[in-house]
Amino acid sequence: QQPVQSPQAVILREGEDAVINCSSSKALYSVHWYRQKHGEAPVFLMILLKGGEQKGHDKISASFNEKKQQSSLYLTASQLSYSGTYFCGTEMSYNTDKLIFGTGTRLQVFP
Amino acid sequence: EPEVTQTPSHQVTQMGQEVILRCVPISNHLYFYWYRQILGQKVEFLVSFYNNEISEKSEIFDDQFSVERPDGSNFTLKIRSTKLEDSAMYFCASNPGGNTEAFFGQGTRLTVV
pLDDT tens sequence across A47-101? 898 776 666 777 899 999 888 899 999 999 999 999 999 999 998 877 677 889 9
pLDDT value, residue B98 = 67
Helix (H) or strand (E) holding A90: strand A84-91
CA distances from A102 to A64, B17, B30 (A): 15, 31, 25
The per-residue pLDDT for A97 is: 74
Q: Which pLDDT tens digit goes with each residue over B84-105?
A: 999 999 999 999 886 788 899 9
pLDDT at A45 over 70: yes
- Contact criterion met (CB below 8 Å) for B51 and B75: no
Q: How far apart are CA A51 and CA A70, in angstroms?
A: 12
Interval B45-64: pLDDT, tens: 999 999 899 999 999 999 99
SS3 of B40, please? coil
pLDDT surpasses 70 at A31 = yes
Residue of A nearest to B6 (CA): A41
Q: Which residue of A has its CA nearest to B32?
A: A97
d(CA A64, CA A51): 8
Tell me, rounded to whole angstroms, the distance of Cα B50 from its chain centroid: 14
Query: Chain B residues with CB-CB distance to A under 8 A?
Result: 31, 33, 35, 41-45, 48, 50, 55-56, 58, 91, 98-107
CA neighbor of B110 nearest in space, from B32, B33, B25, B6: B6
Across B10-74, the runs of DSSP E, i.e. the strands, are: 10-13, 19-24, 31-37, 43-50, 53-57, 65-68
Task: Compute the residue count for chain A.
Answer: 111
What is the pLDDT of chain B when averaged over all its residues?
93
Q: Is the pLDDT of residue B3 over 70?
A: yes
> Taking a C-beta distance cutoff of 8 angstroms, is the pair B81, B18 a contact?
yes
Name the band, by pLDDT with cuts 50, 70 and 90, for residue A104.
Answer: very high
